[in-house]
Amino acid sequence: MISIDNLCVGFGRRLVLEGIHLHVARGEWIAVVGKNGCGKTTLLRTICALTRPQAGTVLVAGTCVQRMAALTRARTLAMVPQRPPTLPPLTALDVVLLGRFAHSGPFRAPSGHDRAVAEACLAETGAAHLAHRLAPTLSAGELSRVLLAQALAQETPVLLLDEPAAHLDPSWAITVLSILAKRHQTGQTIVLVAHDLNGAALYCPRFVALDRGRVVYDGPARDFFTANRLRDLYGTPFHLVRHPVADVPQALPLPVSADRTPTH
């Protein structure tokens, strides 16, 4: 579904991604992990053609994303950004309806079906009660759930998410992963950028780790969790345990002195 070959992305003389090779099969769910600044967000933005690569190719369903017509791209890829954008005074329902433009077109009024889809997606993300609230009045967590509903309402085969649970409390953070798990079961391809390794391990079968713009691990989630790998990737020690219910690996960062900073 997504094929990335020798991808290099930079800003000025600084390379953010270098020599990335990645294939995500149709219906697969991967978690992209790594330290702040390692290129995770840039990777997502390049996949959906918001950032232009310096070299290499990104194909989605066999087509170069940079050459896709905007409407085709909107019907293929939906993205939930890491930082909620500044929105005009639209209601939450209207924000979600923006995701339906991929199907109805930007110059047509939403149909009854569009509204039904938008309302269902708000309900799915636990945000139905926010439907008539103005977007600028929502908290960061509330807006995150509305933006997830917008992406779901696009009804695309590929869903890209950049830390969708970053502004959510633990209850909603795990609920978002459960929502994605249901979407995955229907065949949707999911690329999830995550800092919550333990939450991702409960659901994502495959981890891809970036370090300084390069892929340093690509394989089963269960094999990602080693003390040495996590220390090398994040520059801080971890203690590994098994989840008492799900029986998947979990990583607990160890306390460090206040005057110590993570390496690299």
For the cut 70, the answer to whether the pLDDT of residue 263 exceeds it is no
Instruction: For 33-73, write each residue's pLDDT tens digit.
Output: 999 999 999 999 999 999 999 999 999 999 999 999 999 99
Mean pLDDT (whole number) for 183-193: 96
Rounded distance between C-alpha atoms, residue 31 and residue 28, angstroms: 10
Rounded distance between C-alpha atoms, residue 20 and residue 191, angstroms: 15
Sequence-distant (6+) residues with CB within 8 A of 258 are none
| Cα–Cα nearest to 160, from 41, 20, 34 | 41
3-state secondary structure of 91: strand
Instruction: For 17-42, write each residue's pLDDT tens digit.
Output: 999 999 999 999 999 999 999 999 99
3-state secondary structure of 174: helix
Q: What is the SS3 assignment for 16-73?
A: EEEEEEEEECCCCEEEEECCCCCCHHHHHHHHCCCCCCCEEEEEECCEEHHHCCHHHH
Q: Can you list the positions of beta strands (E) in 81-188?
A: 158-162
Mean pLDDT (whole number) for 229-245: 95
